[in-house]
Amino acid sequence: MSRLSEPFLSRGASCSPPTRRAQIRGLDPRGGHHRQGAALNISDPDANRVEDIVRSRFVASASVATNVHVQGPLNARRFSRIFRGDGDVFPCPVAIKVFIQGQFGGSPLEAARAYHHALEEIYAVSVGDPVLAVPQPFGLIEELDFGLVVAEWIEGPVLSEWLPHCTRAEAILASRNAGIWLSRLQRSVGVAYRPMEVHGVLEHLTASIGSGRHGLGGAVVARAAQLLAKMADRVAAEEVGWCRSHGDFKPENLVAREGQIVGIDLDLREMAPAVHDIAHFLNHLQILCYPPWSFHRLGDAPRLVGAFCQGYATDGRVELPSLVLTWQRLGNALNLLLRHSEWSRPPRAWVAGLALRRLVKELTGDLSRLACSADASATRVAEVSG
């Protein structure tokens, strides 16, 4: 079964001219060779099989003979593989995302459908928006055991690769634009306000810490968990914006293209507090400054975080609640620390572990200071009232 978009079938659509190959983590800049990421299985579809599938679905819809060439996988993750397609049948180079496993208990086909639907929805609202840019979707292909989504190939480096090497001014501007991008996305899908949800976060962290399989029951983890629990009721009393969550919004899923930020690897999941995506991005942004090869960025981390928050708050005309955001960031950072060995391997896992431990310590200190400030304010109010 195939679903092809009208611009694709007309073969008249145009894409932005290419500038540079996307330097995604796990992508060989020479093309066609997998370097890092999830391990490849012998049963995974290879470039030849993907090419045959795409040819049988798309070339048959063209009125003239065309050629198709697929290379990859250029990126392999736990649930999917990324291939690149070129040829006359495509209006421009395309990214072919093959879903080989389902997420959250679903099947690969369900994951592909959800991804394609989210991409179509976001692309529809992004047309004409100079900031909220996403790849143009071209079609969904459903096979027996997996699903394929074909979309515009976005040229340019991802922010996680580009930020450590660009100038300070460029890094600050990109961080600010990323905040504006997320603000536009969240407002486009609708925001509703209700109290913050905290107990699910605490239960998940308690289970992870108690499992013992992470080997991280040290003082850093214990102090962070205790502080999160202590502040939970105060955070739960705050009313915050809720919207459909991106789920994995981070610098690795944004591409810098000719001064513009383009979102890739998109999703729209269940309703969640808007600060979930903000916290996830800010934590990944900050740990980019911690590895030895990025030490020149260490002093810029507060500026980058501040630029993102300023862009988000200014564009959305909202004030980010510092206590709620810091609480959510600490919970997210602690979860990443406990799980980092699941999505990276040595030596990357060792570097990630050190960076995340440092981030947890810093956020624990930030939240502790906010708690003390809130306690002092409450005491002054009580004294005045008395």
Q: In this predicted model, what pLDDT tens digit does every residue of 184-216 receive, in sequence order?
A: 999 999 999 999 989 888 988 888 777 655 555
Flag whether pLDDT at 104 surpasses 50. yes
Q: What is the CA radius of gyration of the chain?
A: 22
Tokens 């709620």 label which residue? 324
Cα separation of 206 and 225, whole Å? Answer: 8
pLDDT band at 240 (very low <50, low <70, confident <90, very high): very high
64 alpha carbon, distance to own chain's centre: 39
pLDDT, position 39: 53
Flag whether pLDDT at 25 surpasses 90. no
Right CATH for 2-152 from 3.60.20.10, 3.30.200.20, 2.40.50.1070, 2.30.40.10: 3.30.200.20
pLDDT, position 153: 96
Flag whether pLDDT at 20 surpasses 60. no
In percent, the amount of the chain with pLDDT more than 90 equals 56
159-380: CATH superfamily: Aminoglycoside phosphotransferase (APH), C-terminal lobe (3.90.1200.10)
What's the predicted TM-score (pTM) here?
0.86
pLDDT, position 65: 56
Beta bridge partners of 34: 27
pLDDT, position 269: 82
Two structure tokens written together for 335:
């979860």
Residue 357 or 30, more confident: 357
Q: Which of 174, 176, 155 is nearest to 163 (CA)?
A: 174
* 3 state SS of 107: coil
269 alpha carbon, distance to own chain's centre: 12
- The mean per-residue pLDDT over the stretch 62-87 comes to 84
Two structure tokens written together for 273:
């507090």
Flag whether pLDDT at 21 surpasses 60. no
pLDDT tens per residue across span 295-327: 889 899 999 999 999 999 999 888 899 999 999
Flag whether pLDDT at 218 surpasses 70. yes
pLDDT, position 233: 93
Q: In what order do the strands lie in the sheet with 80-87?
A: 2-4, 137-142, 147-152, 94-99, 80-87, 68-76
Two structure tokens written together for 100:
């080989």
pLDDT, position 284: 96
- The mean per-residue pLDDT over the stretch 8-14 comes to 42
Residue 212 or 280, more confident: 280
Amino acid of residue 301: A
- What's the whole-number average pLDDT of the chain? 84
Tokens 């997420």 label which residue? 103
Strand segments, DSSP code E, in 2-79 are: 2-4, 68-76
Flag whether pLDDT at 217 surpasses 70. no
Q: Which of 340, 207, 197, 183 is nearest to 273 (CA)?
A: 197
Flag whether pLDDT at 168 surpasses 70. yes
Other C-beta atoms closer than 10 Å to the C-beta of 179 total 27
Cα separation of 305 and 190, whole Å? Answer: 24
- The mean per-residue pLDDT over the stretch 322-341 comes to 92
pLDDT, position 386: 61
Report the range of poorest mean pLDDT among 7-11, 55-59, 205-209, 355-359. Answer: 7-11
Contacts of 200 (CB under 8 A, 6+ apart): none
For the chain, the domains span 2-152, 159-380
pLDDT band at 163 (very low <50, low <70, confident <90, very high): very high
